[in-house]
């Protein structure tokens, strides 16, 4: 193992998205609006579920955790990106970079595990509706959610410790708009082969395992839906599950594409696009696909709107 990091680099500089002033301002407005919409959508879901006792069940408890993660994920990276776009302040301290990377990997890992738990929850609900409350009760659901957060924490601790015990001595320019594993590995002047091997193994096993659970759950769900006699009910179920699976595949596909590969195949431009998909756009889409299309949630939001209008 290498000694603890004694590199000469005390801060890092993000390459950013663009150096052209007019482009930077347009990007600032665009990403600010997306970020605010993401916060508004996910906070609305959290308030709606927490204030309506009829939504206090395992499925909505999982949705609350997903909304919380979808608030945290862009909050870790987007404010610094907006600062760089508006004020050209692209500098982050060594400690700040380490903290940013830790929380990002923690949130992304937790969300991967949580999506697997949500897929299992839907599998039981659709395939075994009569036994659902006995199988997926609130106690089991709470234990599974706590397990996802713990697994995400230790996964992030492992990756962060591997990255920030490397030496950074030749350059401090991070070819990304936030601190992430691939650009940090590419930036290091230490041998990274063994660390990459461990990171690839851990990310591959955990990510592929969670994706496999999700995929198998949805396969069984689709097979069960095919057995539904009512064409209208079958079409509605297919539409909902298909939307869910699209977002799941988008999130898994982009994260696996980012982390399960060697530093020699690192492409900064490609990584910036891919990271925006799972770090910015997926948290924006999740409230609409997982919650706002849900009848119970929409009814709760209508009641909340009426109450606000009455109060005003």
Q: Which domains does the chain have, with CATH numbers?
A: 15-305 (1.20.1070.10)
Computed on alpha carbons and rounded to an integer, the radius of gyration of the chain in Å comes to: 21
Residue 92 carries which DSSP code? E
pLDDT for the residue numbered 174: 86
Which residue is listed with tokens 């659709």?
126
- Kindly report the number of other CB atoms within 10 A of residue 196's CB atom: 18
Torsion angle, CA of 224/292/137/134, rounded to 10 degrees?
Answer: -30
Q: Could you list the beta-strand ranges (E) of the chain.
A: 11-14, 91-93, 173-174
How far is the CA of 284 from the CAs of 61, 72, 82, 107, in angstroms?
19, 12, 17, 15
pLDDT for the residue numbered 2: 44
88 — alpha (psi -120 to 50), left (phi > 0) or beta? left
β partners of residue 14: 174
Contacts of 48 (CB under 8 A, 6+ apart): 55, 297, 300, 301, 304
How far is the CA of 131 from the CAs of 128, 179, 229, 286, in angstroms?
6, 45, 21, 28
pLDDT for the residue numbered 292: 62
Residue 17 carries which DSSP code? S
pLDDT for the residue numbered 307: 81
Residue 257 to residue 180: CA distance in whole angstroms? 13
Give the largest Cα separation in the chain, rounded: 68
Residue 260 to residue 239: CA distance in whole angstroms? 31
Q: Are strands 11-14 and 173-174 parallel, antiparallel or unpaired?
A: parallel
Torsion angle, CA of 301/306/311/312, rounded to 10 degrees?
Answer: 100
Residue 129 to residue 220: CA distance in whole angstroms? 13
Residue 129 to residue 24: CA distance in whole angstroms? 51
Burial of residue 202 (number of CB atoms within 10 Å: 0-12, 13-18, 19+): middle
Per-residue pLDDT in tens (0 to 9) along the chain, 312 residues: 444 444 467 889 888 777 677 788 898 999 999 999 999 999 988 988 888 888 888 888 998 999 999 999 999 999 999 998 888 888 999 899 999 999 999 999 999 899 999 999 989 988 888 888 888 888 999 999 999 999 999 999 999 988 888 888 777 888 888 888 888 888 888 777 888 888 888 877 888 888 889 889 988 988 888 887 777 777 766 766 766 777 787 777 777 766 666 555 556 666 777 777 778 888 888 888 766 667 777 788 888 888 878 877
């Amino acid at each position: 193992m290498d000694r603890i990091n004694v590199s000469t680099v005390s801060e890092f500089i993000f390459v950013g998205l663009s150096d052209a002033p007019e482009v930077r301002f347009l990007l600032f407005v665009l990403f600010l609006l997306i970020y605010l919409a993401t916060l508004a959508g996910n906070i609305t879901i959290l308030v709606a579920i927490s204030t309506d006792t009829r939504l206090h069940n395992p499925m909505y408890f999982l949705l609350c955790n997903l909304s919380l993660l979808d608030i945290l994920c862009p909050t870790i990276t987007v404010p610094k990106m907006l600062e760089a776009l508006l004020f050209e302040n692209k500098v982050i301290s060594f400690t700040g970079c380490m903290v940013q990377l830790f929380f990002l990997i923690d949130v992304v890992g937790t969300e991967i595990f949580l999506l697997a738990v949500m897929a299992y929850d839907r599998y039981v609900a659709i395939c075994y509706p009569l036994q659902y409350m006995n199988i997926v009760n609130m106690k089991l659901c709470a234990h599974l959610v706590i397990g996802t957060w713990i697994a995400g924490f230790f996964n992030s601790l492992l990756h962060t410790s591997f990255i920030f015990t490397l030496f950074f001595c030749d350059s401090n320019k991070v070819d990304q708009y936030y601190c992430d594993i691939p650009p940090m590995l590419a930036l290091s002047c230490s041998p990274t082969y063994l660390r990459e091997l461990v990171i690839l193994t851990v990310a591959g096993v955990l990510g592929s395992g969670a994706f496999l659970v999700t995929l198998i759950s949805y396969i069984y769900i689709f097979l069960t839906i095919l057995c539904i006699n009512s064409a209208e009910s079958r079409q509605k179920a297919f539409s909902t599950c298909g939307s869910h699976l699209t977002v799941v595949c988008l999130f898994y596909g982009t994260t696996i594409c980012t982390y399960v590969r060697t530093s020699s195949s690192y492409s900064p431009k490609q990584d910036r696009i891919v990271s925006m998909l799972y770090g910015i756009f997926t948290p924006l889409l999740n409230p609409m696909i997982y919650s706002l299309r849900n009848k119970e949630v929409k009814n709760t939001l209508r009641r909340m709107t009426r109450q606000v209008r009455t109060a005003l």
